[in-house]
Chains A and B, each alone.
Chain A
């Protein structure tokens, strides 16, 4: 692109604003599609959105987007103005969504730095066809005007009018007749409208005038003016100088020739054949094709919008990330000061007081910064409407989406990772879970299936629940497949139903015989799990055969800073997220049991839990190998409990989660490590991934 004024921020803004508008539009289309027609507010809004996108994409020289937007704008113009009756709104929605998708894809390409090279001509053709259908036979009589494939707003040509001033004096000695020829600069464009300005300004100056070309609304009038100039004849009381001064001010005027002409008779003669309309007072306003509805809005509403404009600003995510990093660094630095080994053993009352105050403020700052990054799930949930709509249409199923708790907030970084998994789970639900409407009726269920998408807070996590009222999981088939793939450990009769259902999350697992376009064969679920785990979350499933399936996603509120308990094993340090800790205690030998496979277990209040020796699995040298010398920390995740054996507890603190270095991650994945953090004394502590440790222990 040779636009020298286009820069990064502009491109970012173009992408951001356009995507925002497209989302609004998608929402409007889907919610309106359900009724048999579109609300007039919605039509107007969609019209405006397409108009805006047409303009900005043209400015950015993305002409394929601009042309498509133009066609869609025209379509909605007709819907707004003519309010045609014979519209197939279902087809309209499909068409419009297709157009919307095209633009989204092009913008995605632009965002990635690729060429926006999509071809929308087929789509534009379809739009044109649809347009023709709803306009009926009136279409052919309209001339095409500038720009779009479909004639635009100026469809109704104005009636030809000649403007004559109110004072029609028959005799006065001061009447002059002038002939003016105006030529415009090359490329000024819309010459016919430029002269319209001229003519309009003449209103008070001249008593009579006419011009060549006469009809400024005619399609080629601009071209005629460009080639032959604009000739104006006028009679007026004003002098040559005055007329000259008035005309010379015309913008983009290249050349003005003004001469006085002899008599006014010739002027009248030329008028004879034409129809003259006598006007009373002011110049008549030409019929405007787009009367603005908004004229009726009361003043109060306009002022209100002024106020709300100021209360929100948009901030670049990069800045927020930076802020977050800095706060993280500060938390570490604060710990390095207040827990400095130099201060060990010293009695420093004033220092302690000040340190506490510092801690308090750091904590508040941290909370505030994190809250800035929190974004409600509403946006993500709303996007699911589109997925639902498309799936239902393609599979002829009838399903509604119910959203609960969409105001629940989650860190911005995490939101991005949730969208795709959710989409896949909903697709799965509709594809495999929900029955065809007829079948549902036969089963005594409502024809309309329901998927409930719910979000709620739970401790340091957010739970996202996808619940459908379909046919549920087929336990036997899952078990058979698991058996086939050798995924079953331990005796089969000891496996709970819930465990069976959760087999579907294992990689490569799928009981679907056919690969559907949407769900794929075992690939999708694997990706869902990976995505969720990538943000430190977990996924589980439950089902009631015949009644439905519930998938639960547990996502941490934020990735960056957690509350952790630091523990010591030999010279190594580990940190356990406090949200996972149930209790800790010094074990007694009487509570320890060893089973025939040498697995050590702990009895706590009548329940038996597996023990994990950290020094053992991580081959850490430590003096503390006897249970009675060390400490047990009981942790729980997903209703599974584990007893971790370590040397001692060091202390609890807020830790900033840092990822393991890339090289380490690339070399191999270490079970049970979620990341690391820097402790107050500068040493590194490895953050334990409780879920990972639990599954490791169970398979040991």
Chain B
């Protein structure tokens, strides 16, 4: 099963993503509540894909993305953004995010995006 790391400061979003994927063949190997922890967890868990919230305290999604990419240039990171964050999404893409999804999103959309990113 493919491994996924969720990075989002809202406990609610982490649970939402977890719930959405529970009947799919994706294993949630970790949840991080801020970018810094997310980076550390990535290094330890080496997941196949990461969902990364853009707006977080302590360390933003962009910064965490950069750190993860620096550690693992092949890292597959999906940015989770809210409406109206085009500028940041662009910056994320430039810094190596594979793609993005916008809140609110439906379960199918999340799963499809992850599949496409993983090439399955």
A and B assemble together: yes
Residues of A within 8 A of B (CB): 4-7, 9-10, 13-14, 17-18, 48, 51-52, 54-56, 58-59, 61, 66, 70, 145-148, 152-154, 158, 189-190, 193-194, 196-197, 200, 217, 251-252, 283, 285-290, 292, 294-295, 297, 301-303, 305-306, 309
Can you identify 26 A-B contacts, CB atoms within 8 angstroms? A4-B107, A5-B16, A5-B19, A6-B19, A7-B19, A17-B10, A18-B12, A48-B55, A52-B55, A56-B16, A59-B103, A70-B83, A145-B86, A147-B83, A148-B84, A154-B86, A154-B87, A193-B90, A197-B99, A200-B93, A288-B87, A289-B87, A289-B88, A294-B59, A303-B36, A306-B36
**Chain B residues, Cβ within 8 Å of A54:** 82, 103
Could you give, for residues 67-101 of chain B, a 1 whenever the CB lies within 8 Å of some chain A CB and a 0 otherwise? 00000000000000011111111110110001110
Question: Are A51 and B82 neighbours in the complex by a CB distance under 8 Å?
Answer: yes
Question: What's the Cα separation between A288 and B87 when bound, in Å?
Answer: 5
Is B2 positioned at the interface, with any CB of A under 8 Å from its CB? no
Is B37 positioned at the interface, with any CB of A under 8 Å from its CB? yes
Question: What's the Cα separation between A154 and B19 when bound, in Å?
Answer: 31
**Chain A residues, Cβ within 8 Å of B104:** 55, 58-59, 61, 66
User: Taking each of A18, A70, A152, which has the highest tally of chain B beta carbons within 10 Å of its own beta carbon?
Assistant: A152
- A221: shortest Cβ distance to chain B, in Å? 11
Q: List B1-17 residues whose CB lies under 8 Å from chain A.
A: 9-13, 15-16
**Residue ID in chain A nearest B110 by CB atoms:** A5
Is B29 positioned at the interface, with any CB of A under 8 Å from its CB? no
Question: What's the Cα separation between A37 and B84 when bound, in Å?
Answer: 27
- A78: shortest Cβ distance to chain B, in Å? 13
Is B51 positioned at the interface, with any CB of A under 8 Å from its CB? no
Question: Given known contacts A55-B103, A56-B12, A194-B99, is B88 in contact with A290 (CB within 8 Å)?
Answer: yes
**Chain A residues, Cβ within 8 Å of B36:** 302-303, 305-306
- A2: shortest Cβ distance to chain B, in Å? 10
User: Taking each of A61, A194, A290, which has the highest tally of chain B beta carbons within 10 Å of its own beta carbon?
Assistant: A290
Question: What's the Cα separation between A292 and B40 when bound, in Å?
Answer: 21
**Chain B residues, Cβ within 8 Å of A292:** 60, 62-63
- A343: shortest Cβ distance to chain B, in Å? 52
Question: Are A305 and B58 neighbours in the complex by a CB distance under 8 Å?
Answer: yes
Pick from A4, A217, A251: contact of B99, CB below 8 A: A251
Question: Are B91 and A306 neighbours in the complex by a CB distance under 8 Å?
Answer: no
Question: Are A196 and B93 neighbours in the complex by a CB distance under 8 Å?
Answer: yes
**Residue ID in chain B nearest A55 by CB atoms:** B103
**Chain A residues, Cβ within 8 Å of B117:** 251
- B106: shortest Cβ distance to chain A, in Å? 8
**Chain B residues, Cβ within 8 Å of A66:** 104
- A325: shortest Cβ distance to chain B, in Å? 28
Question: Are A52 and B10 neighbours in the complex by a CB distance under 8 Å?
Answer: yes
Question: What's the Cα separation between A196 and B107 when bound, in Å?
Answer: 24
Is B26 positioned at the interface, with any CB of A under 8 Å from its CB? no
- B64: shortest Cβ distance to chain A, in Å? 10
- A83: shortest Cβ distance to chain B, in Å? 19
**Chain B residues, Cβ within 8 Å of A13:** 11-12, 15
**Residue ID in chain A nearest B82 by CB atoms:** A55
Question: What's the Cα separation between A379 and B33 when bound, in Å?
Answer: 24
- A326: shortest Cβ distance to chain B, in Å? 28
Question: Are B83 and A148 neighbours in the complex by a CB distance under 8 Å?
Answer: yes
**Chain A residues, Cβ within 8 Å of B57:** 48, 294
- B25: shortest Cβ distance to chain A, in Å? 16
Question: Are A190 and B102 neighbours in the complex by a CB distance under 8 Å?
Answer: yes
**Residue ID in chain B nearest A7 by CB atoms:** B19
Question: What's the Cα separation between A507 and B57 when bound, in Å?
Answer: 51
